[in-house]
Amino acid sequence: MAVIKPNAKKTGLRNIVVDIAGLEVSNDPNHVLITYSLGSCLGLTIYDPVARVAGLVHCMLPLSKVDQRKAALKPGMFVDTGVPALLDAAFKLGAVKSRLVLKVAGCGQPMDDKGLFRIGERNYTVLRKLLWKNNLLIQSEHVGGKLSRTVSIAVSTGEVFVRIGGPSGEVIRL
């Protein structure tokens, strides 16, 4: 993973951790946005290669109607409030909708063997509907399955890396 190098301090890169139900945007080329433990949660990265603005949201649940108060306090908790909040924050830093590159990870089913809750699947469905309504397309994704993921995006390049299955797991470029 580009951001988890032992010499990260030498390169001057700084990891900005996006907590569960959190979101971050940055135009600082020394920042790397990173989130951990994406199981059924959705991780969405956005990047404007001209403005060099990157964003990352870590959504737990699909729809905010289950708790409007929490959605107002932490919009990143829900896909239907977190994604618009992420986009708005990126636009304030100069990102332009038509240039955005979107990548998705997570939306798995790590502890739902019987498929009763299907939270990951529902998170992904709400995301797709929201993006479709806003004329935005996903460039690449790594979704589903049982393993957790760590996702990072480098603000300087827009490169997205996914670590699959914990600290010693496989790392892929998304």
Separation between Cα atoms, residue 164 and residue 145, nearest integer Å: 10
Work out the angle between the directed axes of helices 119-133 and 79-92 (0-180°, nearest 10): 50
Active site residue 41: yes
Question: Measuring CA to CA, which residue among 81, 56, 66, 59 is closest to residue 162?
Answer: 56
Separation between Cα atoms, residue 174 and residue 166, nearest integer Å: 17
Alpha helices in 66-144 (DSSP H): 68-73, 79-92, 119-133
Catalytic residue among 25, 41, 57, 89: 41
Residue type for position 143: V
| C-alpha distance from residue 76 to each of 85, 132, 163 (Å) | 7, 19, 21
* Active-site annotation, residues: 41
